Amino acid sequence: MPALFVCLLIAQGTAVAPEGADLVRIRKELARQPAITTDGGTDESGRPVFRMSIRAPMPQKPLWDNWTNVPSYIRPNMPLYHYEHMQLVTPPEFRGGTFYTVGIPIGAIVETLANEIRAARYRAQERSAREEVSKALAEVLACRADPSGPGC
């Protein structure tokens, strides 16, 4: 145990001072303008206030989320009572297309497409609103610059 303690003391005492080139590089980096600056906003006690807005889409389940290791031709895509009823009622030559469905989750695909279309429409509406506001702002600034112009 004392040997471990001595090794820890020795390891802490071996700090290396930066070389001359490293000091020049550090001073140069400290002299650069910082990547993040504040706009001078402070709270009641004079401390700077930082605000952040994060926007991210909600994670969606992948279409293959309900897959299992059992193939769909072994695990029927219908409840057991329906399977048994079809087994009793449907002739064997017509069972193939009924019992062994592919099982593509059409609902999930349609829902994903609807979400993508809704998001695209929203982005298009947002873009047109921004263009309309910027056009109106340009007209107001033009009228302020020259009040004798047409439409002012």
Residue extents of the structural domains in the chain: 71-103, 106-152
DSSP string for residues in 38-93:
--S-B-TTS-B--------PPP---TTTT--SS-TTTS-SS-HHHHHHHHHHS-GG
Neighbours of 111 (CB within 10 A): 13
Q: Look up residue 94 and give its DSSP letter.
A: G
In degrees, rounded to 5, the angle at the alpha carbon of residue 21 between the alpha carbons of residues 20 and 24 is 90
Predicted TM-score of the model (pTM): 0.34
Q: Look up residue 102 and give its DSSP letter.
A: -
CA distance linking residue 103 with residue 76, whole number of Å:
9
CA distance linking residue 140 with residue 72, whole number of Å:
64
Residues 6 or more apart whose CB falls under 8 angstroms from that of 73 comprise 100
- From first to last of its 152 residues, the chain has per-residue pLDDT tens of 677 777 676 766 655 666 777 888 888 888 887 766 666 677 888 887 777 777 888 777 776 666 666 666 666 666 777 778 878 888 877 765 555 555 667 788 889 999 999 999 999 999 999 999 999 888 888 888 887 877 77
